[in-house]
Structure 1
Amino acid sequence: MAVPHARRTDDWWRGAVIYQVYPRSFCDGDGDGTGDLAGVRARLPYLAELGVDALWFTPWYLSPLADGGYDVADYRTVDPAFGTLGEAEKLIAEARGLGIRTLVDIVPNHVSHQHAWFRAALAAGPGSPERELFHFRPGRGEHGELPPNDWPSQFSGRTWTRVEDGEWYLHLFTPEQPDLNWAHPAVRQEHEDVLRFWFERGVAGVRIDSAALPVKEPSLADFTEGVDPHPYIDRDELHDIYRSWRRIADTYGAVFVGEVWLPDPDRFARYLRPDELHTAFNFNFLACPWDPARLRRAIDDTLAEHAPVGAPATWVLCNHDVTRTVTRYGRADTGFDFAAKAFGTPTDLELGTRRARAAALLTLALPGSVYLYQGEELGLPEAEIPLDRIQDPMHHRSGGTDPGRDGCRVPLPWRADAPHSGFGPGTAEPWLPQPEGWSRYAADLQSGDPGSMLSLYRRALELRRREPGFGDGPMAWLPAGPGVLAFSRGEGLVCVVNLGDEPARLPAYAESLIGSGPLTGDGRLPKDTAVWLRA
């Protein structure tokens, strides 16, 4: 059993390392092929030994799983596929006993079509109070056969679905995810009650899904490219909602992280004002190519965006929606764009793994908090899922051209010598197939290998906790050669990353703390390699 690591400060979130758990694929505790809370509880010692400060769980609520749980039918019930509410409460408490906090996911933009509210709205008919909780409208055209407006979808396909009585309802995602009407006081009250429900059960924070989307332009007018304000992205009314949420969170000492995809840094920073969200995800860094100038600019821009409101930056390399890091960095295009995803993209996994190891040290050395996606510490690549096994609606709504997101959601390998790499205790086929050779990434193999990705992460996280100069705080760029990023942290800590073509000379140092790979024989830093030094 690992020893709980000490809480750093009351503002733990400013420099925390937060591990994202996709419950369906983390660990199967009951042997049915689906990951569950029992599996997570069994692996808490592993997570404590890894050295993370908190766990963020993607939705574990009751759901038809039309979109991986982001179609929530009941926020106060854990889906039976994952366990029970009692198990969730035990998990929160057991993790806390190991010094690990818990964050849950809240999806304010929409609910499941199986949610009691939406079922009641369908049954009640046009003009009813039940339908006012959503966006029901008559159609356009001579017989109402056309959608009420032309808004583009967040996924491929239409944003409106017609019901039997002729009305249409809005869904920015799938038809199984009807959008809520945030102008209705009952919608606001329900979400505030849900926040209190989970805070009362010991949850330390909430990740807000699609945080810039819930509020819509009241008339639902057509979308016109380039015209502000946007009819459903980043509406000013959102800030009053998040201020009310912040007042609730403050009474529990809880925190928020928002999924805020916005290109305008000033608009982005508004969500991080002292009375709104504590943090927001840094997607510019996540999508940035493996290029020294662009990475430096992404880092500078991120810190500049956060400075006016005093919020800490967040750093993330991948998550449950994007191509895994070792695969992305092994391709000709090392950036990320949903529109560019395609089947059969050539990948050099050896190159990608080398870069991912360097990127891990770069990310963990930057000021602020870091989010790790499950399996990132194992160096898992993106998997190409057989067409008949793909479940992600992004694939199906694209007409089969988009490979979807299942490739980064493949169940984790725990034991190399067990069926299905030890994902569960029996022989049940996992809900998504593991590729051939998946067992070579198993945690038990890597745990005993000092050169493995898992050992690199464990050592780096140990150093990050031990050295007060890391985490939240100042940084300063240092002079460096072509293609090299070098910066100092705190008192005498230096991170150097070589993205150039030739081995790079290191600044004078007293001690090398950790490297993503060995130095050359003459003490230089090879390309696609990073090192932490004590000056």
Structure 2
Amino acid sequence: MSLNDPKDAREWWRDAVIYQVYVRSFADSDGDGIGDLPGITARLPYLRDLGVDAVWLTPFYTSPQKDHGYDVADYTDVDPLFGTLADADALVARAHELGLKLIVDLVPNHSSSAHEWFQAALAAGRGSPERARYLFRDGRGPDGAEPPNNWNSVFGGPAWTRVEDGQWYLHLFDSSQPDFDWRNPEVGDLFESVLRFWLDRGVDGFRVDVAHGLVKEASLRDQIVEDGEEPRSGADINGTEAAPERSMVERTLRDEPMWDQPEVHDVYRRWHRVLAEYPGDRMAVAEAWTQTPESMARFVRSDEMSQSFNFAWLVSPWSASAFREVVEGTFAALADVHADPTWVLSNHDVIRHVTRYGGGAQGLARARAATLTMLALPGSSYLYQGEELGLEQVDVEPEFRQDPSWFRTGEVGRDGCRVPMPWSGQEPPFGFGPGTAQPWLPQPASWAGRTAEAQEGDAHSTLAFYRRALQARRSLTGTAIELLDLRPDVLAFRRDDVVAVLNCGTTPLDLAAAGLSGEVLASSAPAIADGVLPADTAVWLRG
């Protein structure tokens, strides 16, 4: 299994380690309890020292913050909550000084209901050019009192909201996030101008939110569902069993007229041409929850996106055989389009992988082992802020929860993976910002031993492990792997002169007896004694 390996120099993003910063939870410079752009700029040396290649920022644009910035009111300005355009420029410049690339989030599926276009659509009325930028439709039933179709929101409840004149508008997420009509050329023109605005300011790429959702089936027909089932839209955003039918391991397909329509690829061909006009290998990565590896691969054809998030590992159980299927399926799907894979274990929408793997000491051991194995694979790896500290999901008390999915469904939501970073000190806010007050989501007192400061001098800490692993990754060569057959509960593969071994079983693995030897280049546990790989542990062997 191998990657595309062009004769000329490979673009930086093909094998980069990219660190996701959830802006409101990374670092607070002004003491209001919410992270901001100057706070991030001040912490960039930490990310350089960690060993990452690029930083991806979640949305920081002007927004009512109904969905924490994924409801954008102005795509070309910074929300005062996070700073100013000058702060954004300073962040880009400082990142580049430190040798870091900067990727910003783009939200093209929907705007905020506060966006000037949507406000104009409400004012203009039925049949107007202003309404044609969004998906307004008449309702069903004698008086139009029923939604135009049976689609449901990802956040729960109907995907339609009725306005005063009786029409309905589509929102696949919160009612404050109306979906654009991407069949209207004005929408495409708007977003080309947005791309150019940020490219001109020096950003190195874009993470594209809901990349598979921009174009809906033209008829807006009902979703076909099995008898007794409710219509569903998108992934389980709570992340415990995040869309297993979308993974490469299980391929239960369902009817989805709101997702992954063929015309969406025309959008990304246009964007590809825009990015190609700029120097420095500018890139775009798609958040595309597609149902098969083949449909995911279509987003990364040579004239479309640079990358697409590969969520298959993230949604897999702790299982060597499941992980092997993910690796095999990923490489097989990308072979025909000569694209490079991405690997990701956590992000701002899912339960942190320490907790998914069982929590406590076992969950942390498994998380470190999975991370080391992921980092050995060719392609790009995406890290989520705080995983280098071994942070677990926080059980945020109901009175503090802010995720819109909590308010719409009563389910816990995503707040638990978004609790602000602990940097230093013995009690909240753990150096997150000046002052002594808890930040926008309260931090648990138990994090005192997990701060970056507390782990800084500990050679056995998770922070030290990440730094060693990322340093060792820089010595890896080759863009092909060979899967090895050892035990059913062990995943092993060779990449050039390095063998990566992950023991998902409950009994140790004798490496020599398995025919493996060589220098220990990296390991997820403090030491590999007597050539024995413990359970829930990974190692890289060179030689």
TM-score by length of 1: 0.92
Task: State yes or no: 1:499 paired with 2:504.
Answer: yes
Q: Is the 8 A contact 1:291 1:499 kept in 2?
A: yes
Q: Give, in whole Å, the separation in 2 of the partners of 1:199 and 1:276.
A: 17
Deviations 1:109-168 (A, max 9, x none): 100000000011111112221111111112112221111111122221111111111111
1:143 aligned partner, one-letter code: D
Deviations 1:424-462 (A, max 9, x none): 021232000111212221001111110000000001101
2:425 aligned partner, one-letter code: A
The 5 Å alignment of 1:190-229 reads 190-225=190-225
The 5 Å alignment of 1:15-34 reads 15-34=15-34
Q: Is the 8 A contact 1:519 1:525 kept in 2?
A: no
Task: State yes or no: 1:296 paired with 2:324.
Answer: yes
Deviations 1:480-514 (A, max 9, x none): 23411111112x11111111121101144331112
Deviations 1:373-399 (A, max 9, x none): 00011100000111011110111111x
Q: Which residue of 2 aligns with 1:238?
A: 264
Q: Which residue of 2 aligns with 1:475?
A: 481
The 5 Å alignment of 1:422-441 reads 422-441=431-450
Q: Is the 8 A contact 1:207 1:259 kept in 2?
A: yes
2:350 to 310, 319, 322: 322
Q: Is the 8 A contact 1:101 1:204 kept in 2?
A: yes
Task: State yes or no: 1:382 paired with 2:410.
Answer: no
Q: Which residue of 2 aligns with 1:366?
A: 377
Q: Which runs of 4+ in 1 moved over 6 A?
A: 226-229
Cα distance, 1:417–1:228 mapped onto 2, change above 3 Å: closer
Q: Which residue of 2 aligns with 1:129?
A: 129
Task: State yes or no: 1:308 paired with 2:336.
Answer: yes
Q: Give, in whole Å, the separation in 2 of the partners of 1:373 and 1:134.
A: 33
Task: State yes or no: 1:161 paired with 2:161.
Answer: yes
Q: Is the 8 A contact 2:216 2:257 kept in 1?
A: yes
1:449 aligned partner, one-letter code: D
The 5 Å alignment of 1:23-422 reads 23-225=23-225, 230-252=256-278, 253-330=281-358, 348-398=359-409, 400=410, 402-417=411-426, 419-422=428-431
The secondary structure found in structure 1 opposite 2:383 is strand
The secondary structure found in structure 2 opposite 1:32 is coil
Query: Percentage identity across aligned positions?
Result: 54
2:441 aligned partner, one-letter code: L
Cα distance, 1:238–1:520 mapped onto 2, change above 3 Å: closer
2:467 to 449, 454, 458: 458
Deviates more, 1:167-176 or 1:136-145: 136-145
1:500 aligned partner, one-letter code: G
The secondary structure found in structure 1 opposite 2:494 is strand
Q: Which residue of 2 aligns with 1:333?
A: none
Q: Give, in whole Å, the separation in 2 of the partners of 1:428 and 1:42.
A: 20
Deviations 1:154-203 (A, max 9, x none): 22111111111111111011100000011111100000110011111111
TM-score by length of 2: 0.91
1:443 to 432, 452, 457: 452
Query: How far 1:520 sits from its partner (Å)?
Result: 6.0
Q: Give, in whole Å, the separation in 2 of the partners of 1:186 and 1:518.
A: 57
Cα distance, 1:228–1:377 mapped onto 2, change above 3 Å: closer
Deviations 1:219-254 (A, max 9, x none): 222222389974221111111111001000111131
Q: Give, in whole Å, the separation in 2 of the partners of 1:130 and 1:121.
A: 5
Q: Is the 8 A contact 1:162 1:168 kept in 2?
A: yes
Q: Is the 8 A contact 1:416 1:440 kept in 2?
A: no
Query: How far 1:303 sits from its partner (Å)?
Result: 1.0
Q: Which residue of 2 aligns with 1:3?
A: none
Q: Which runs of 5+ in 2 are unaligned?
A: 1-7, 227-252
Q: Is the 8 A contact 1:148 1:168 kept in 2?
A: yes
1:522 aligned partner, one-letter code: D
Query: How far 1:468 sits from its partner (Å)?
Result: 3.8
Q: Which runs of 5+ in 1 are unaligned?
A: 1-7, 331-347
Q: Give, in whole Å, the separation in 1 of the partners of 2:72 and 2:528.
A: 53
Q: Which residue of 2 aligns with 1:530?
A: 538
The secondary structure found in structure 2 opposite 1:152 is coil
